[in-house]
């Protein structure tokens, strides 16, 4: 107990001596703590009050992920990638993404099918919509000098004056839809492929609920039937009229089994342009897409389709494609031309 004043006096003497001599004062804490002169100063860069800069983690190019992708079946696309990035696909039957960011469209993905891909990294996410389309050039080949489609059974097959079906093509699964026709008995033209037949039944049932009576007029036509019909048009109304309103054999949509001409109760507008102005025609244009059909030969698009306006000619393509085509007011050809334009920029 008697040593404490001595220590205090010694410390005071040391301090006063240092100050008078212009020297830095010694570390008093080492005297009091008995640390033997060892410094307790924090290492350089860690002194109290100094800010430590933490480098930012690398990011990814979010702009490289567009709002939409338009890709063909079997195609691939590279997504931004680095360690820690994760991907999610909403429809694995349409597309997949590998851990390193390779987006692959299934070879069996239906034209018009859609999926969403979500990219996530460091708490940020971005989702892009995928639409499956292919270019028309990818589904055509020359057969005996005739441009012939390579996908005749595809629900999105495009058949027109420049794209013929195989000569011996007969569509699979032809069946008669349970809808009214303005004639009785069995007939080839009552037939449609199974998906189109069921969709036509749904369409007619919906029309009936709204007080609209529709009739099926002409569906499937074989190559032989179309040849006889076209030759008859040429003989009675001339080649020019035949080319405007009828198709050469092998180039008719009716041979696909996916097209049906329809009418209302008034026979005077049956297969005539004024059908568009009838209650039945107006209802059809407004609601056909809900059941997977489009007005295949719309008004003002004659140069694209090659045929005059036919408000009665329905073509089944499935609801996804039908809604996009009808909402945009485009033709089936333009739907695919759009895909080519988008892909050529990627």
- Give helix then strand counts, H and E, for the chain: 9, 15
pLDDT reported for residue 141: 97
pLDDT at 18: 45
Query: From residue 247, how far is each of 87, 193, 242 by CA, in Å?
Result: 48, 20, 7
Q: What is the pLDDT, as a whole number, of residue 241?
A: 79
Please report the pLDDT score of residue 52 as a whole number.
59
What's the Cα-to-Cα distance from 196 to each of 50, 202, 276, 294, 314, rounded to whole Å?
Answer: 74, 10, 22, 12, 10
Residue 346, pLDDT score: 42
Contact at 8 Å (CB) between 288 and 317? no
Compute how many other C-beta atoms are within 10 angstroms of the C-beta atom of residue 56. 6
Q: What is the pLDDT of residue 17?
A: 47
The H or E element containing residue 336 is: helix 332-345
Distance from CA of residue 248 to its chain's centroid? Answer: 33
d(CA 207, CA 195): 19
Residue 137's CB is within 10 A of a number of other CB atoms, namely 8
User: Per residue of the chain (346 residues), what is the pLDDT tens digit?
Assistant: 444 544 444 444 444 444 444 444 454 444 444 444 444 444 454 555 556 565 666 789 999 999 999 999 999 999 999 999 999 999 999 999 999 999 999 999 999 999 999 999 999 999 999 999 989 999 999 999 999 999 999 999 999 999 999 989 999 999 999 999 999 999 999 999 999 999 999 999 999 999 999 999 999 999 999 989 889 889 998 888 777 778 889 999 999 999 999 999 999 999 999 999 999 999 999 999 999 999 999 999 999 999 999 999 999 999 999 999 999 999 999 999 877 655 544 4
Provide φ and ψ at 211, rounded to 5°: 80, 20
pLDDT, position 59: 87
Q: Are 154 and 321 in contact (CB under 8 A)?
A: no
> What pLDDT is recorded for position 60?
92
Beta partners for 293? Answer: 316
Give the chain's radius of gyration (CA, Å).
38
Q: Give the catalytic positions in this structure.
A: 310
How many CA atoms, within 13 angstroms, populate the side-chain half-sphere of residue 171? Answer: 31
């Amino acid at each position: 107990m008697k040593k404490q004043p001595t220590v205090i006096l010694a410390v005071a003497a040391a301090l006063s001596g240092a100050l008078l001599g212009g020297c830095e004062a010694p570390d008093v804490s080492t005297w009091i703590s008995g640390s033997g002169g060892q410094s307790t100063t924090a290492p350089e860069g860690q002194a109290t009050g100094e800010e430590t800069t933490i480098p930012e983690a690398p990011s990814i190019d979010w702009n490289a992920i567009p709002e939409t992708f338009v890709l063909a079946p079997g195609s691939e696309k590279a997504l931004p990638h680095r360690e820690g990035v994760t991907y999610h696909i909403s429809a694995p039957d349409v597309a997949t993404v590998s851990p390193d960011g390779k987006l692959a469209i299934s070879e069996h993905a239906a034209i018009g099918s859609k999926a969403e891909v979500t990219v996530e990294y460091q708490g940020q996410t971005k989702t892009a919509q995928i639409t499956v389309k292919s270019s028309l050039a990818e589904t055509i080949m020359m057969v005996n000098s005739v441009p012939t489609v390579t996908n005749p059974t595809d629900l999105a097959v495009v058949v027109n004056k420049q794209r013929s079906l195989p000569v011996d093509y007969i569509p699979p699964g032809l069946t008669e839809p349970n809808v009214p026709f303005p004639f009785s008995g069995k007939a080839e033209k009552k037939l449609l492929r199974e998906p189109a037949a069921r969709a036509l039944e749904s369409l007619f049932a919906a029309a009936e609920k709204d007080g609209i009576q529709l009739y099926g007029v002409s569906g499937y036509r074989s190559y032989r039937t179309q040849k006889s019909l076209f030759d008859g048009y040429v003989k009675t109304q001339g080649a020019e009229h035949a080319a405007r309103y009828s198709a050469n054999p092998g180039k008719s949509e009716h041979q696909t089994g996916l097209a049906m001409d329809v009418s209302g109760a008034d026979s005077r507008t049956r297969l005539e342009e004024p059908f568009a102005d009838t209650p039945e025609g107006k209802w059809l244009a407004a609601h056909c897409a809900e059941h997977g059909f489009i007005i295949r030969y719309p008004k003002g698009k004659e140069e694209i389709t090659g045929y005059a306006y036919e408000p009665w000619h329905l073509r089944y393509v499935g609801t996804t494609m039908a809604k996009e085509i009808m909402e945009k007011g485009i033709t089936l050809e333009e739907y695919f031309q759009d895909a080519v334009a988008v892909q050529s920029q990627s």
